[in-house]
Structure 1
């Protein structure tokens, strides 16, 4: 059935734990939210974030043809470019409508997510292929799971924005490792990622620098009383991902070991559960 290919195009296994971050943003700072509003926010966010990955598959279908690790339905002709584009529009549009039913600020935060998605993936801007700018873009894009949930019920304020940036930084610090892992394939495809631009060793060093910056930023949020110091455990949930990328870079055959997939799934579970646990305390 072709429906299966449209479901695969969403690639929910790559991002489902961000639903937990969005839920934590809602419940952690507004525990009295109505069940109806909470449901609309979570479902709306899920549709919107699914559109991030369908748009990625739409515009990466040419390069993904030659990457054996990428199971892109568009690249392999299971669904067409136009069908994937329409799927993206429908997902994003549905998500915006659902968030708009909750609050104007929810709708606006959803629009911000969509704009960042377009800027990151779509030419001529396509910051995904612009070294250094791609890190900034991925940081902002992955700040949106918390930003959408928080702003939908609390509006826009410095606290919510500051915490959202923390979640973005946690993804940004992993990004150079990820591009280093895919360095050879990206060079073959002509993708000018950060690793393709500055090389393997510098990418790893950059990622470590970003880890330090993220931890310092976390300390700033604690000092400003935006978050509880116990949330320090949340960055620990990203250690499995960092370990996976370090191992893969040093041993390319490690990509094929099934245990690494289990590690990343565990990391996803922790990434969704830990913020909920601490923000609801």
Structure 2
């Protein structure tokens, strides 16, 4: 059964920690405090997300097998190299969905709805006649929306009385789009042959290194703009973290130029020591600025608003 477990990609479950920023933001913006957190619901939420994501991975690996044989490393996936039964794959897919739905029910109604949307997006991404992964640019946008859904799922662990601000939702979505576009760029460079790249991923037939890198820049600009709007609106002190966020985006792009970089395998990013150090510094900066009031920033923004009104 190892090959069937492998196509569920439990090694990718680390990505589902992307629900945690949703939890943290909910505590910052609502009346709930850390003492209100329900550990049982949080654990159920994490593993529910893992089950739904694994269900999406299962159909992804099965339906991508004819194309993965053209990829330098994905050609070694079990569905490509071994004789796997479709009936078992479908049974695994249904079982993962069932467990994910049951765990979601233990969290919250809105969490369940968001989980089902996450499942549906995986269906649209992989299954014909939709198969959004074959459409340039839409492939990145439809896959990265899962980033935003994970944030919402984390939010609903804490509260079901409101939705996260649109600025943070769009910013989180576009941050995911940046990650996906950079991943595409790194993959395209590694394959090194546009024809072979097009056989592996149909959207690559209309991509180039230039357009992929330009799209990553576009997504990063939208993401940082929306994050900036959110930070200024809800706590002006967080604005001082933005240079660190810019540095994080820039360093990630630089990583994509490395041969066989971890950018192609986001589940391995935690092994990148410099990247993790930068993330740690950003987290510490946010924690400090959460508890420290900088009055000069408030005065500065107030004076700016006065000048705008006078003009």
1:251 corresponding residue in structure 2: none
2:107 corresponding residue in structure 1: 102
2:177 corresponding residue in structure 1: 172
1:51 corresponding residue in structure 2: 55
Structure 2 CA distance for aligned equivalents of residues 276 and 98 of structure 1: 29
Return the offset for 1:162: 4.2
Structure 2 CA distance for aligned equivalents of residues 271 and 122 of structure 1: 38
Structure 2 CA distance for aligned equivalents of residues 74 and 12 of structure 1: 16
Structure 2 CA distance for aligned equivalents of residues 25 and 275 of structure 1: 16
Structure 2 CA distance for aligned equivalents of residues 18 and 271 of structure 1: 18
Q: Whose RCO is larger (CA < 8 A, sep 6+)?
A: 1
CA shift in 2, pair 1:263/1:91, >3 Å: closer
CA shift in 2, pair 1:93/1:242, >3 Å: farther
Q: Which blocks of at least 5 consecutive residues in structure 2 are unaligned?
A: 28-33, 291-311
Return the offset for 1:83: 2.4
Structure 1 CA distance for aligned equivalents of residues 106 and 232 of structure 2: 35
Q: How does 1:82-101 map to 2 (within 5 A)?
A: 82-101=87-106
CA shift in 2, pair 1:216/1:262, >3 Å: closer
CA shift in 2, pair 1:90/1:127, >3 Å: same
TM-score by length of 2: 0.73
SS at match of 1:174: helix
Asked whether the equivalents of residues 168 and 226 of structure 2 are also in contact (C-alpha less than 8 Å), the reply is no
Q: How does 1:71-82 map to 2 (within 5 A)?
A: 71-77=76-82, 79-82=84-87
Q: How does 1:150-169 map to 2 (within 5 A)?
A: 150-155=155-160, 157-159=162-164, 162-169=167-174
2:13 corresponding residue in structure 1: 16
User: For this pair of structures, how many residues does the alignment match?
Assistant: 268
Q: Is 2:209 the counterpart of 1:209?
A: no
SS at match of 2:7: helix
Asked whether the equivalents of residues 41 and 152 of structure 1 are also in contact (C-alpha less than 8 Å), the reply is yes
Match of 2:136 among 131, 155, 171: 131
CA shift in 2, pair 1:77/1:129, >3 Å: same
SS at match of 1:102: coil
Return the offset for 1:241: 4.1
Structure 1 CA distance for aligned equivalents of residues 235 and 129 of structure 2: 37
Structure 2 CA distance for aligned equivalents of residues 218 and 77 of structure 1: 45
Q: Is 2:198 the counterpart of 1:187?
A: yes
SS at match of 1:17: helix
Q: Is 2:71 the counterpart of 1:67?
A: yes
Structure 1 CA distance for aligned equivalents of residues 261 and 215 of structure 2: 26
Structure 1 CA distance for aligned equivalents of residues 109 and 125 of structure 2: 24
Q: Is 2:44 the counterpart of 1:40?
A: yes
Query: What is the root-mean-square deviation in Å for CA atoms of aligned residues?
Result: 3.3
Asked whether the equivalents of residues 18 and 147 of structure 2 are also in contact (C-alpha less than 8 Å), the reply is no
1:250 corresponding residue in structure 2: none
Q: Which protein shows a greater Rg?
A: 2
